[in-house]
Structure 1
Amino acid sequence: MFMGVPTMGGQASSESTAPIHDTPILGFKTRPHVQSAQEWGNPSNFWVEYPSGLVDLTRTTHLPADANEPELKSGQFDLPVDGDRVIRLDPAKTAYVIVDMQNFFLHPDLRAHPKGLACVDPLLTSVPALRSQGVTPLWVNWGLTPSELQTLPPSLLRGFSRPDTSRSGFGGTMPGDWGKLLMRGEKNSELYGPLQVLYEEGAKEGKDQWVHKNRMSGIWGGQSALDLVLKEMGITTLLVAGVNADQCVLGTMIDAYYLGYDIVLVSDATATTSPEGGMENVVYNAGGSYGFVTDSERIVAAAKA
């Protein structure tokens, strides 16, 4: 049992029972602001963080010699995030990754997901707001091909099957006109209602892109469609939203984090069917470890500023 910090004489101090060194993962509810300006990373891939709470993710201005905050440059915008911070974004290097907001996961005829449906309105406001700033919306969705069905691992096949009912798993024919389960081009694989319209409007303008995935993570493995798109576009920062928070959203978010992308969770546009702890864990780690947390209201306000 830890009894305190040892003193030079070998006795444990009774003044502290906290570990000598702590990290956000091990206990910070809110990461403290830096006490002096700090540059994180290396000469080509870096953030600069200031005591005011500004974190510059644009990778355009190294820490100035005087450590003063740089002025907001034309084309950049500042987005408030949790922890009394503001992140500075370069829209040309930023994408809005929206995961699995599809009929299969949201439509009331297929399942009850009221929390997922509650994410629709935040997306209907935040997507146009980010488009107006030059951020690219990427709709990352299940969309399997017949050949991919032959390569899916047993754990995934088992997880998406219902042996206690007549329902089949991936590729199985669904009732009515919903088509084959999560196969490309099928009605159940389309975005839910107004989100399909929102995507089509953006695609027609050349702003939105649809990216297929074939695992719970949208950016798994050595080479994924999403990673290729992001690299071709020069994207470094991802705003992430969708369903389910602790499954496909988390898988995509954490794999992107491992690959070095900046992570910003849009909390009110993200939901799960899991018990409350599932969403709480995702939000906690998104803000304390992987990156930052914001919401649609702050996005809309920042776009209007």
Structure 2
Amino acid sequence: MNGNALGSTPKNAWHVTPTLVDMIRAPLVSHPVTLSSRGRQVRFDLQRSALVVVDMQNDFCHAEGWLAHIGVDVMPARAPIAPLQQLLPKLRAEDIPIIWLNWGNRPDKLNLSPALLHVYNPHGDDIGLGGALPISGAPVLQAGSWSAAVVDELTPAPQDICIDKYRMSGFQDTVLDSVLRNLGISTILFAGVNIDQCVLCTLQEANFRGYDCLLLEECSATTSPSYCLDATLYNVQQCFGFVVSSVELSHKL
């Protein structure tokens, strides 16, 4: 194309000169991938896909994080680490966007309602959102803190995209939708914790907004009881998208 590129990504750019504004986007070469999904086959275009990794943060997955402090066994939340370590390099080699969607609250908590604060501090006298952890002193799930950082085993690469969220849905009051649309994404691969809470809420809203949703089963987990996991897998497959294997995907890349 002639002219100067004007856009945040090559997938969504104009080319302009003093006499012409060319709004035709460069064509993409499809990269079809077919995966098994509960007795069916699902084919999608990897070139129009992104991986969204939800809440693989110290406060949820580290032995000195917030959940561990309040007595939750965080070992189940660490289950996605090894599968993601296998998958991420292959997706990056294919130039597939990796989006880290993490809790990252304001220090003053002005965008958090009392109802939301109550969920994580129901009696008002415990360490809730923004409270200092006793071991590290880090404020719970505050943007820029150790608590909100991705666990060391999954350190984001320089080309990855990091987006803060403030609700269980990563679309509510965030830039996630704008980023995905600028990247030309139609299919979202989902991973992270908790599968029955923040992962599910974000996936549901992605479905409501017209995205195709694939839940990577081995790369998703929860600290909730097993029936919550079973119900989530059922409901995703039944209503909101497809449950697929990250192992199968990794083998096909």
Same fold (TM over 0.5): yes
Indicate which of 240, 244, 251 corresponds to 2:201: 251
For residue 119 of structure 2, what is the amino acid of its counterpart? G
Secondary structure of 2:147's counterpart equals helix
Indicate which of 223, 232, 238 corresponds to 1:288: 238
Deviation of residue 114 (structure 1)? 1.4
Distance 1:74 1:152 in 2: 43
Secondary structure of 1:187's counterpart equals coil
Secondary structure of 1:266's counterpart equals strand
Residues matched between the structures, number: 220
Distance 1:285 1:168 in 2: 33
Distance 2:112 2:143 in 1: 15
Task: Indicate conservation of the 8 Å contact 1:129/1:299, yes or no.
Answer: no
- 2:150 counterpart residue number: 191
- Higher relative CO (CA 8 A, sep ≥ 6), structure 1 or 2? 2
TM-score relative to the length of structure 2: 0.81
Task: Indicate conservation of the 8 Å contact 2:194/2:222, yes or no.
Answer: yes
Q: CA RMSD in A?
A: 1.9
Cα distance change, pair 74–150 in 1 and its aligned pair in 2 (3 A): closer
Whichever of the two has the greater Rg, that structure is 1
Task: Indicate conservation of the 8 Å contact 2:107/2:143, yes or no.
Answer: no
- 2:103 counterpart residue number: 142
- 2:19 counterpart residue number: none
Secondary structure of 2:252's counterpart equals helix
Deviation of residue 163 (structure 1)? 3.5
Task: Indicate conservation of the 8 Å contact 1:78/1:86, yes or no.
Answer: no
1:95-149, Cα deviation, whole Å (9 max, x unpaired): 10100000000101231211111110011111222222232110100011135x1
Indicate which of 82, 88, 94 corresponds to 1:133: 94
Task: Indicate conservation of the 8 Å contact 2:164/2:174, yes or no.
Answer: no
For residue 107 of structure 2, what is the amino acid of its counterpart? P
Distance 2:237 2:191 in 1: 14
Runs of 5+ in structure 2 lacking a partner? 1-27
TM-score relative to the length of structure 1: 0.68
Secondary structure of 1:289's counterpart equals helix
Indicate which of 166, 170, 175 corresponds to 1:218: 170
Q: Does 1:98 align with 2:98?
A: no
- 1:167 counterpart residue number: 126
Secondary structure of 2:92's counterpart equals helix
Runs of 5+ in structure 1 lacking a partner? 1-72
1:191-218, Cα deviation, whole Å (9 max, x unpaired): 112112xx1xx22xx2x11111011110
Q: Does 1:232 align with 2:182?
A: yes
- 1:85 counterpart residue number: 40
- 1:41 counterpart residue number: none
